[in-house]
Amino acid sequence: MHTIPQFIEGKDIAELGGRRTTGNREDLGLDAESNAEMERIVGELNRLSEEVPLESPWTAARADEFDNMTADDWFRANTQNKAVLGFLHYFMVGIFTCESSQLSFLFFLFYVRSGHNFQDLLGVKNAAQAFRIKETMHGLAASIARELGPAVVLNAPVTAISQDATGITVRSGKGDWHADHAIVAVPLPLSVRIAYDPPLPPERDVLAQRMPMGSVIKWWIAYETPFWRNQGFNGSTVTDLPPSAGFYDGTPPKGKPGLLVGFIEAASAIRWTGRPRAERQKLITNRIVDFFGPQGANPIDYEDQDWPAEVWSRGCYAASVGPRVLTTVGRFLREPFGRIHWAGTETSSVWMGYVEGAVRSEERAAEEVLAQYKQKMAQKT
| Each residue's pLDDT tens digit, 82-101 | 999 999 999 999 999 999 99
Within 10 A of 18 (CB to CB), how many other CB atoms are there? 10
- Taking 80 as the threshold, does the pLDDT of residue 26 lie above it? no
Residue 248 CA to residue 6 CA, distance in Å, equals 8
Top-tier CATH class for 156-212+317-380: alpha beta
Query: Once rounded to an integer, what is the mean pLDDT over residues 2-8?
Result: 91
pLDDT at 24: 85
Domain assignments of the chain as residue spans, ordered by start: 27-122, 156-212+317-380
pLDDT at 3: 92
Residue 295 CA to residue 255 CA, distance in Å, equals 17
pLDDT at 99: 95
Residue 285 CA to residue 223 CA, distance in Å, equals 11
3-class secondary-structure state, position 228: helix
Query: Once rounded to an integer, what is the mean pLDDT over residues 40-56?
Result: 97
Please report, as a single letter, which amino acid is at residue 59. Answer: T
pLDDT at 246: 85
Kindly report, residue by residue over 208-251, the tens digit of the pLDDT.
999 999 999 999 999 999 999 999 999 999 999 999 888 999 99
Q: What pLDDT band is residue 294 in, cutting at 50, 70 and 90?
A: very high
Contact criterion met (CB below 8 Å) for 179 and 168: yes
Query: Once rounded to an integer, what is the mean pLDDT over residues 262-272?
Result: 97
Please report, as a single letter, which amino acid is at residue 98. Answer: C
Residue 217 CA to residue 236 CA, distance in Å, equals 18
3-class secondary-structure state, position 270: helix
Query: Once rounded to an integer, what is the mean pLDDT over residues 280-298?
Result: 97
Residue 36 CA to residue 259 CA, distance in Å, equals 34
Query: Once rounded to an integer, what is the mean pLDDT over residues 266-270?
Result: 96
Residue 307 CA to residue 264 CA, distance in Å, equals 10
Kindly report, residue by residue over 118-153, the tens digit of the pLDDT.
999 988 888 888 899 999 899 999 999 999 999 999
Lowest mean pLDDT among 11-20, 107-116, 117-126: 117-126
pLDDT at 245: 87
- Taking 90 as the threshold, does the pLDDT of residue 25 lie above it? no
Q: Which residues pair with 218 in a beta bridge?
A: 263, 305
- The CATH topology of domain 27-122 is Guanine Nucleotide Dissociation Inhibitor; domain 1 (1.10.405)
Lowest mean pLDDT among 22-26, 44-48, 365-369: 22-26
Q: In the predicted model, what is the mean pLDDT of the chain?
A: 95
pLDDT at 85: 97
Question: Residue 283, exposed/middle/buried by CB under 10 A (0-12, 13-18, 19+)?
Answer: middle
Instruction: Tell which residue, 54, 351, 366, has the closest CA to residue 185.
Output: 366
- Taking 90 as the threshold, does the pLDDT of residue 164 lie above it? yes
- Taking 90 as the threshold, does the pLDDT of residue 381 lie above it? no
Kindly report, residue by residue over 167-200, the tens digit of the pLDDT.
999 999 999 999 999 999 999 999 999 999 999 9
